[in-house]
Structure 1
Amino acid sequence: MKSLGPLRYFQGLEISDTSDGYYLSQAKYASDLLSSAGLTDSKTAPTPLDSDCRLTPMDGVPLDDPTLYRQLVGSLIYLTVTRPDIAYAVHIVSQFMSAPRMTHHSAVLRILRYVKGTLLHGLHYSARSSLVLTGYSDADWAGDSSDCRSTTGFCFFLGDLLISWRSKKQTVVSRSSAESEYRALADTTAELL
C-alpha cells in the first residue's frame, strides 16, 4: 500500500478542505449528468418542483423507452448524497420507475434544470461545530393523491452540521394531520435509535 495524499475526489464526490472544515459536493458528477441528459444549454429552474405539482401514475402518455428516465432518476438518487435540497423531488419522481410517463419525465427535467442553476451546492462540515444533536421532522397529510398516504421528511444536525436526512412515504394512510405528524415523529426517532 502507498499513500495517495489527501482525498480530493472519490466516486463522484469532491472533497475540499479549508481552514474551517470540509466541503463536499458533486459538481462534476452533476455536470456530467446534465451533459448526458442534453441540458447543458437549457435554462435553469428556481425550484426542483412546482409548488402545485401533483404527479399520479396515470398522468400523460407513457414513455416509449423508459431507460433514459430510469438512468436519470438513478443518477439523481446518487446526487442526493450531497444535495438534500432535491431529496423530496427525487423521492416523488422515483415512484414512477416501473411505468414512467411524459409528465414524470418533464418533472425529472425540471429537477435537472434546478441542479444546473445550483451546480456548486453541497455540504459544509465546520471544524468548529458544537456536538449538540438536533432533529426536525414534518409530514404532508395525504400528500399523494393516488393512495392518500403522507410523506415524512426529517433531518438531523450535529451542531450546525447536517448529518442525516430522508424523505419517505409513510406505510399506512393517516386519518388526520396530527396522526401523520405523530407517525413522522415516530419514524424520525426510530431512525435516531
Structure 2
Amino acid sequence: MKSLGLLRYFLGLEVSTSPYSFFMSRAKYAFDFLARAGLTDCQVASTPLAYDVRLIPYDDSLLNDPTLYCQLVGSLIYLYVTRPYIAYAVHIVSQFMADPRTSHHSVVLHILCYVKGTLLHGLHFSSHSCLTLSGYSDTDWVGDPTDRHSTTRFCFFLGDSFISWLSKKHTFVSRSSAESEYRALADSTSELLWLRRLLTDLGAPQPSFTALHYNS
C-alpha cells in the first residue's frame, strides 16, 4: 500500500478541497455521457421534469433499440450520487428500462438538458457548518398513474451539508392520503434513527431531538 496524496479524481468523482471545505461533483462524467447522447449543444432545461409529466408503460411506440436508453438511465443513476435534485426524475424513468418507449426517451433527454445547464453543480461540505441533523419528508398520494402507488421522498442535512436522500415507490397502495403520509414519515424516521446512531459512532452525537419537517 502507498499514499497517493489528496483525493482528486476517482471513478468519475471529482473532489476539490480547501482548508474550509470540500466539494464533490461529476462534471467530466456528465459531459462525457452528454456527448454520447449527442446533446453537448442542446438547449438547457430549467427543471429536471416538466410539471405535468405522467409516464405510463404503454404510452407511444417502443424504441427500436433500447440500448442507448438503458445506458443513459444507468449513467443518470450513477450521476445522482452527487446530484440529489435529479433523484425523483431518475426514479421515474428507471421504471421503464425493460420496455422503453419514445415518450420515456423524451423525458430522459429533458433530464439530460437539465444536467447540461448544471454541469458544475455538486455537493459542498463546509468545515464551519454545525453538526445538527435535520430532515425533510414528502409523498405523493397515488402518484403513479399505472399501479396507484405513492412515492416517498426524503432528505437529511447535517448543518448545511446534504448527507442523505431517497426517492422510493411504496410497495402497497395507500387507501388514503393520511396512510401515504404515515408510510413516508415511517421511512424517514427509520433513516433518521440510523443517521443518529451513525453520527454517535463517528463522535458527533445529537444531544437534542432531530427536527423532521413534512410537507402536508
Q: Any idea what the Cα deviations from partners look like across 1:155-185, whole Å, max 9, x if unmatched?
A: 1111111100010001111111111111000
Q: Any idea what the Cα deviations from partners look like across 1:54-105, whole Å, max 9, x if unmatched?
A: 0000111101111110010000000000000100000000000010000000
SS of structure 1 residue aligned to 2:33 = helix
2:115 maps to amino acid: V
Match of 2:139 in 1: 139
Unaligned runs of 5+ in 2: 195-216
Tell me the distance in 1 between the aligned counterparts of 2:99 and 2:164. 30
Match of 2:167 in 1: 167
Tell me the distance in 2 between the aligned counterparts of 1:82 and 1:69. 21
- 1:130 shift after superposition: 1.2
Tell me the distance in 1 between the aligned counterparts of 2:107 and 2:18. 36
SS of structure 2 residue aligned to 1:107 = helix
1:14 maps to amino acid: E
SS of structure 2 residue aligned to 1:63 = coil
Match of 1:124 in 2: 124
TM-score (norm 2): 0.87
SS of structure 1 residue aligned to 2:54 = coil
2:130 maps to amino acid: S
Aligned residues: 193
Match of 2:14 in 1: 14
2:25 maps to amino acid: S
- 1:4 shift after superposition: 1.5
* CA RMSD of superposed structures (Å): 0.8
- 1:19 shift after superposition: 3.0
Tell me the distance in 1 between the aligned counterparts of 2:155 and 2:85. 11
The equivalences for 1:93-132 within 5 A come to 93-132=93-132
SS of structure 1 residue aligned to 2:137 = strand
TM-score (norm 1): 0.98
1:98 maps to amino acid: A
Identity %: 69
Tell me the distance in 1 between the aligned counterparts of 2:187 and 2:34. 34
**Larger of the two Rg values belongs to structure:** 2
Match of 1:38 in 2: 38
